[in-house]
Amino acid sequence: MSTFRNFKMVDYVVYGRGSFNQLEDILAPHRKDDLPMIFLVDHFFEGKELANRIPVRGADKIIFADVTYEPKTTQVDALADALKDEFGMVSGVIGIGGGSTMDLAKAVSLMMNNPGSSADYQGWDLVKRPGVYKAGIPTLSGTGAEVSRTTVLTGPTRKLGMNSDFTPFNQIVLDPELTANAPVNQRFYTGMDCYIHCIESLTGTYLNEFSKSYGEKALDLCRYIFLEKDTWDDECDDKLMMASYAGGMSIAYSQVGVAHAVSYGLSYLLGTKHGIGNCIVMNHIEEYYPEGVAEFKRMVEKNGIEIPQGICKNVSEDQFDTMINVSLGMKPLWENALGKDWEKIMTREKLRELYGKL
Amino acid sequence: MSTFRNFKMVDYVVYGRGSFNQLEDILAPHRKDDLPMIFLVDHFFEGKELANRIPVRGADKIIFADVTYEPKTTQVDALADALKDEFGMVSGVIGIGGGSTMDLAKAVSLMMNNPGSSADYQGWDLVKRPGVYKAGIPTLSGTGAEVSRTTVLTGPTRKLGMNSDFTPFNQIVLDPELTANAPVNQRFYTGMDCYIHCIESLTGTYLNEFSKSYGEKALDLCRYIFLEKDTWDDECDDKLMMASYAGGMSIAYSQVGVAHAVSYGLSYLLGTKHGIGNCIVMNHIEEYYPEGVAEFKRMVEKNGIEIPQGICKNVSEDQFDTMINVSLGMKPLWENALGKDWEKIMTREKLRELYGKL
């Protein structure tokens, strides 16, 4: 008997321009005694207007999180330990930022109620207890981290999420106004994370109609935004936020593929961020996704973006080996992309050659 | 400040052909001591194979519910009272059937934990306490009742749902195999409920990008199923189940329109079921939805369905008045369809004329 994943949804969703203004009312019923709400905010917003609009009450605290690099288990543990030291316990953790901030907020919430290190929970269904109340407020659209049941973390031995039914947010606030001032390149790379993931999942061998319908919708929205529209406007922000949400939901019964598997090696070794890493790889894998890569290149051109080249030029053979090991470790991604016999297709030599081109 | 609804999602979703076989495992963690699970099953399945596949354990009980007419508050109260008399309390209520069965299961679950009559809770956010665990397993696709935050009930004075954050299911099991043997006409009418609701919401004045993206996907799926496909097959069942889900989700920030408002009058007076009632009305409202009605008629023709005519031929003027009153009472539907000045457009005379044609 095949079994289908029983997918845990986010509890509450609010979508709308200006819905961020409802945050105080949304949080009110979740405040416990005098315990603070912790706002974990992308450091990009330090000194910006958005930071002043956060409804800070009582002992609440804003923590600007450095997301220059993607979240590490050590960073999660340090944040949770500092909160326990300062407050004993908190009412909730509210993440405001891009995918890294979303993942950080989910992980810190879980570590407020689970013992040990977040590294102990990297894997599937290892988390034993619900975290504190957690809400996600994306300011960049594309990763789908706002609806996922994971939180990707770089640990001492691997880059892997805390995948569990306790991981999804209790609340997400989808306010497209918050994405309006994102830097153009960053916005493009993050949007392409959604596009690439649709191409990988829709052409993959793991897929059912639930994920297909979400993936197709996300893909339609990406095509409209990045190919049909000539200037970026509110409609683009509105639609890209829904593309991100739909792309994230489509992960329920699908899997990513070659771009993600190769990009994980880059990010492990070089710290390349997820969105740009996927773009760097997508630029060179027409062999696996001929139509998707051609369309991706049209999007890059139309939006006037330059994808970095030659990022592996100073990488040693030992380091190539490390990247290859990390990448080939992502077995479900390869199997989704290339089928059961993927190891015969994607040999170490072939992957070495691909990394050499990046 | 405009406020956006904070939409409560279903907690868990499983989608897949054969996922009904996982029901025992899904329910196991929700069984409380020796309290039974109650399976509320559309009477259509009495003596059919599906009834034998229900994982009945201990004191569990299967109740075949007569859904010849849409659920009434009296029926809900009688079911909940009988369960309290027999068992004191139950572990959960599992609805297996079409939209009426879904609504009945949600309402009975709520009434196990809330005092008085379900009629006391017809309205918005009147329910004070969560119900018992509840799961929905649709065997017909189209109404979207599996994901809605309401449960439409005919009460002593009105047809109105128990709309609340406690109303959505804790679990839905979306197994398209269960819809394979639905009667062709019933399947069409229920599918058209989804299609009509997309036309009404996408052309309405209430809409945002969240609901638009879901509504567009549901519409695309309906067009594929009812216009492009030449024979009904598994793919149709798979896709119509997702169309129903997406159509239901799209209700978060949208509203239905003329067909639903007029159809409510029919069902109040004549007991006409929701799906067929919408089709009877849709057949005559090209003035409001010219493209939608033309496409609807192509779907009717292509699928070889005969929409009933002349159902109001024996209706008295007093009865027309009753239907008109019920219909004009659905203010948000009319405002969504025709704008703020809807009362100048849809006069009693005009509505009398429309009912006369049905």
Q: Measured between CB atoms, which of A7, A8, A14 is closest to B7?
A: A14
Instruction: Please indicate whether, in this complex, the C-beta atoms of A15 and B4 are within 8 angstroms of each other.
Output: yes
Instruction: Tell me the whole-structure pTM to 2 decimals.
Output: 0.96
CB–CB of A4 and B11 under 8 A? no
pLDDT reading at A1 higher than 60: no
Domain assignment present for A56: yes
Give yes or no: residues A23 and A156 share one domain.
Answer: yes
- Residue of chain A whose alpha carbon sits nearest to that of B5: A14
B151 and B231 inside one domain: no
| ipTM score for this prediction | 0.94
For A71-122, write each residue's pLDDT tens digit.
Answer: 999 999 999 999 999 999 999 999 999 999 999 999 999 999 999 999 999 9
Contact A213 B217 (CB under 8 A): yes
Share of chain A above pLDDT 70, in %: 99
Residues A51 and A188 in one domain: no
Query: Do A27 and A91 reside in the same domain of the chain?
Result: yes
Task: Please give the pLDDT value at position B2.
Answer: 63
Summary mean pLDDT of chain B: 95
Q: Tell me whether residues A4 and B10 touch, CB distance under 8 A.
A: no
> What are B304-335's pLDDT values in tens digits?
999 999 999 999 999 999 999 999 999 999 99
**Residue A123 to residue A116: CA distance in whole angstroms:** 15
- Domain harbouring B98, CATH code: 3.40.50.1970
The whole-number average pLDDT for the span B158-174 is 94
Would B154 be classed as within a structural domain?
A: yes
Lowest mean pLDDT among A152-156, A196-200, A240-244, A257-261: A152-156
Percent of chain B whose predicted confidence (pLDDT) is above 90: 93
B11 and A7 within 8 Å at the Cβ level: the answer is no
Number of structural domains (chain B) is 2
Interface test with A, best of B213, B223, B235, B240 (most A CBs within 10 A): B213
Q: Please, are residues B253 and B211 in contact by the beta-carbon 8 Å criterion?
A: yes
pLDDT at residue B212 is higher than 70: yes
B contact residues 195-224, partner A, Cβ 8 Å cutoff: 208-210, 213, 216-217, 221
**CATH at B341:** 1.20.1090.10
- A34-70 residue pLDDT tens: 999 999 999 999 999 999 999 999 999 999 999 988 8
Residue at B189 is within a domain: yes
Is residue B110 domain-resident? yes
pLDDT for A217 beyond 60: yes
* A201 lies in the same domain as A334: yes
Same domain for A48 and A161:
yes
Burial (0-12, 13-18, 19+ Cβ within 10 Å), B352 = middle
Residue A2's pLDDT is 62
Q: What is the pLDDT of residues B46-73, one digit of tens each?
A: 999 999 999 999 999 999 999 988 899 9
CA distance to B203, B258, B277, B340, per residue, from B288 (Å): 10, 8, 17, 15
Q: Where a domain ends, among B135, B157, B179?
A: B179
Query: Which residue range forms the structural domain that includes residue A57?
Result: 12-179
Structure confidence at residue A205 (pLDDT): 87
Q: What's the average model confidence in pLDDT over B118-131?
A: 95
Per-residue pLDDT, averaged over A175-194, amounts to 96
Chain B: closest CA distance from residue A308 (Å): 33
Q: Is residue B7 part of a domain?
A: no
Domain end residue (candidates: A156, A179, A202):
A179
pLDDT value at residue B155: 87
pLDDT at A303 over 70: yes
Query: Is the CB of B1 inside 8 Å of chain A's CB atoms?
Result: yes
Q: What 8-state DSSP symbol labels residue A72?
A: B
Residues A21 and A150 in one domain: yes
- Residue A2 domain-assigned? no
Residues A198 and A329 occupy one common structural domain: yes
* Mean pLDDT score of chain A: 95
CA distance B267 to B237: 27
Q: Does B6 touch chain A (CB under 8 A)?
A: yes
| Phi, psi dihedrals of residue B25, rounded to the nearest 5° | -65, -35
The residues, any chain, with a CB within 8 Å of residue B274's CB and separated by 6 or more, are: B70, B99, B143, B152, B193, B263, B267
pLDDT at A270 over 70: yes
Claim to verify: residue A289 and residue A161 sit in the same structural domain: no
* Torsion from C-alpha of A76, A79, A81, A84, nearest 10 degrees: -130
pLDDT at A156: 86
Flag whether pLDDT at A239 surpasses 60.
Answer: yes
Contact (CB<8Å) A15/B252: yes
A71 occurs within a structural domain: yes
- For A292-302, the pLDDT digits (tens) are 999 999 999 99
Q: How far is it, in rounded angstroms, from Cα B251 to Cα B243?
A: 13
Same domain, A252 and A127: no
Q: Does B28 touch chain A (CB under 8 A)?
A: no
Query: For A205-209, A224-228, A301-305, B187-191, which range has the lowest pLDDT when averaged over its residues?
Result: A205-209
Task: Determine contact: B238 vs chain A, CB below 8 A.
Answer: yes
Q: DSSP letter at A18? A: T
Assigned domain for B284 exists: yes
* CB-closest option in A5, A12, A213 to B246: A213
Clarify whether residues B195 and B99 are in a common domain: no
Region A181-197: what's the mean pLDDT? 96
Query: Smallest Cα–Cα separation from B135: which of B171, B99, B90?
Result: B171
Residues B104 and B250 in one domain: no
B132: tokens are: 């018992």
Q: Which residues contact A93 (CB under 8 A, 6 or more apart)?
A: A37, A38, A40, A105, A108, A109, A112, A131, A132, A133, A134, A135
A87 vs B: CB within 8 A: no
Q: Scanning every residue of chain B, which has its alpha carbon at the shortest distance from the alpha carbon of A149? A: B12
Q: Which of A161, A179, A197 marks a domain boundary?
A: A179
